[in-house]
């Protein structure tokens, strides 16, 4: 258990629908990063929040939005879903991972299937 | 989207053979990290390289950062079935955001 919690683990929904993915970082971690991993693909950076504020945006579609709440959990909202949005969605915290280095600690991901 | 190139994309090896994956960037990197993702799992941090020409070892894994800080490699000696997974390099993009751009990944399959 990495300490980064993502819910739900699996989600199946129809095209055109809207879903919300939730992420709780490890206790004390202020940052949340969202990544999308399509089948057999790499990790695409979507968006970053730090202590409630958006810090960086990647290739996030306009149909997608996110926010980080005062308790530091974050939600990724995906709307008008298309088949191509089917993917694994990871959130991560930037934490001390090894000998003082800062790296990502990932949650176990949410597998979204759009049918 | 923006990604760092890794080669090869796939590699099948016999157990006991060596394996190397390469990560190449068009720009000079401030640092590079490596992650491993087991099948069905999430990426897990392995190492960070910061200095030009840096070499770090973790048991059978050897990580190297190029002299020009534009490329990196991960070498596994005498692979084992537990090495199966996808290995990603991640290019540091700072400062302030500290976001990392992940490589395309190399999927390693080890045949017993």
Chain B residues touching residue A90 (CB < 8 angstroms) = 42-43
- The pLDDT tens digits for A22-34 are 999 988 899 999 9
Chain B residues touching residue A36 (CB < 8 angstroms) = none
Would you say residue B98 has pLDDT above 80? no
**Residue A81 — pLDDT band, cuts 50, 70, 90?**
very high
CA distances from B46 to B9, B10, B59, B63, B88 (A): 19, 19, 12, 10, 10
- The pLDDT tens digits for B2-26 are 567 899 999 999 999 999 999 998 8
Distance between CA atoms of residues A48 and B60, nearest Å: 34
Read off φ and ψ for residue B27, nearest 5 degrees: -120, 160
State the virtual CA torsion across B96, A105, A110, B9 in degrees, nearest 10.
90
**Residue B95 — pLDDT band, cuts 50, 70, 90?**
low
CB contact under 8 Å between B45 and A2, yes or no, is no
pLDDT at A23: 98
Number of other CB atoms surrounding residue B44 within 10 Å: 17
CB contact under 8 Å between A107 and B100, yes or no, is no
Chain B residues touching residue A101 (CB < 8 angstroms) = 33, 48
Strands B10-14 and B106-111: parallel
| Whether residue A32 has a cis bond before it, omega within 30° of 0 | no
Q: Is B66 helix (H, G, I), strand (E, B) or coil?
A: coil
Strand partners for A19: A78
CB contact under 8 Å between A104 and B100, yes or no, is yes
Distance between CA atoms of residues B1 and B56, nearest Å: 30
Interface test with chain A among B2, B87, B97, by most A beta carbons within 10 Å: B97
The residue assigned the tokens 């955001």 is B97
Q: What is the chain B residue with the closest CA to A60?
A: B1
Nearest to A56 by CA among A70, A71, A68: A68
Distance between CA atoms of residues B44 and A41, nearest Å: 16
User: Whole-number mean pLDDT of chain A?
Assistant: 93
Number of other CB atoms surrounding residue B2 within 10 Å: 11
Report how far apart the first and last C-alpha atoms of chain B are (Å, whole number).
36
Q: How far is A36 from chain B (nearest CA, A)?
A: 11
Residues B1, A58: contact at Cβ < 8 Å? yes
Q: What is the chain B residue with the closest CA to A108?
A: B42
Number of other CB atoms surrounding residue A22 within 10 Å: 15
């Amino acid at each position: 258990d990495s300490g980064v919690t993502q819910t739900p683990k699996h989600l199946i929904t129809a095209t055109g629908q809207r879903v919300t993915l939730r992420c709780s970082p490890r206790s004390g971690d202020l940052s949340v990063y969202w990544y999308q991993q399509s089948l057999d693909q790499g990790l695409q950076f979507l968006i970053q929040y730090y202590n409630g504020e958006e810090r960086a945006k990647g290739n996030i579609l306009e149909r997608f939005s996110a926010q980080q709440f005062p308790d530091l959990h974050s939600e990724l909202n995906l709307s008008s879903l298309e088949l191509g949005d089917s993917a694994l969605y990871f959130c991560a915290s930037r934490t001390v991972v090894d000998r003082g280095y800062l790296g990502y600690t990932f949650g176990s991901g949410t597998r979204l299937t759009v049918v | 989207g923006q990604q760092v190139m890794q080669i090869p994309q796939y590699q099948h090896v016999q157990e006991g053979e060596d394996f190397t994956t390469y990560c190449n960037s068009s720009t000079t990197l401030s640092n590079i990290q490596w992650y491993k993702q087991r099948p069905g799992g999430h990426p897990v941090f392995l190492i960070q390289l910061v200095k030009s020409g840096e070499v770090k070892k973790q048991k059978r894994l050897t990580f190297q950062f190029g002299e020009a800080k534009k490329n990196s490699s991960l070498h596994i000696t005498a692979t084992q079935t537990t090495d199966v997974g996808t290995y990603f390099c991640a290019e540091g993009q700072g400062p302030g955001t500290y976001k990392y751009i992940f490589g395309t990944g190399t999927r390693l399959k080890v045949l017993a």
